[in-house]
Amino acid sequence: MLPTLLELEIEPPIYIRKIDSRSKWNPEGCGNNLMERARIASELLFKDPDNLYSLWLINTDKDFYGVLAALSANRNSTGKHIDFICIKDSDLRQLNINYVKAPEGKCFLVQSLHFNASIDEEMAARLCYILMEQGIEAKRCSKQNTQLILEHQLKIGCKATKTTALLCDCEL
């Protein structure tokens, strides 16, 4: 059975930001020092020289499946776990983080959910601190769930996967 947002404790609407690993969200050696943990996590997770980061807007399970399929399709090895953090629009606005719609991927639904956010080093540290202060933990879509999602999306012809389907049911 496909995982649901409810089962993953994701309350939409939410932006997800794919991260390398949950351990980078919880760096070792910080103890209870939230400021230090946020600083280190931001250095590990927000290191693009152009300060441009992908955010994916998730409102429904269908959105989540399409985005996970797209994130997995862009990897060398599909069907592995995918780690991410959830960010509310209010958190982005609180820090005046600018983000713009930037279509990405082959599926029109998934394209409409992608945004590029400009987040500099200082903003990243502040964002991590705000999220950690709220108790936000990195989430994981397990390898098994990712595989189920990919199989489902492939079955419905989702162009977010590496399919050559002419019609993507996600776009209906």
Using N-to-C axis directions, what is the helix angle for 121-133 and 34-45, rounded to 10°? Answer: 130
Percent of residues, the chain, with pLDDT higher than 70: 88
pLDDT at 40 over 70: yes
Give start and end residues of each alpha helix (H) in 26-101.
34-45, 61-73, 89-94
| pLDDT (0 to 100) of residue 59 | 97
| pTM > 0.95 | no
| pLDDT (0 to 100) of residue 103 | 87
3-class secondary structure, 58:
strand
Residue type for position 18: K
pLDDT at 172 over 70: no
Any idea which of 21-30, 70-79, 130-139 has the lowest mean pLDDT?
70-79
Nearest one of 119, 123, 128 to 34, comparing CA atoms: 128
Mean pLDDT for 18-45 is 87
Give start and end residues of each alpha helix (H) in 74-120.
89-94, 108-113
pLDDT at 41 over 90: yes
pLDDT at 91 over 80: yes
| pLDDT (0 to 100) of residue 158 | 82
User: In this structure, how many other beta carbons lie within 10 angstroms of the beta carbon of residue 37?
Assistant: 20
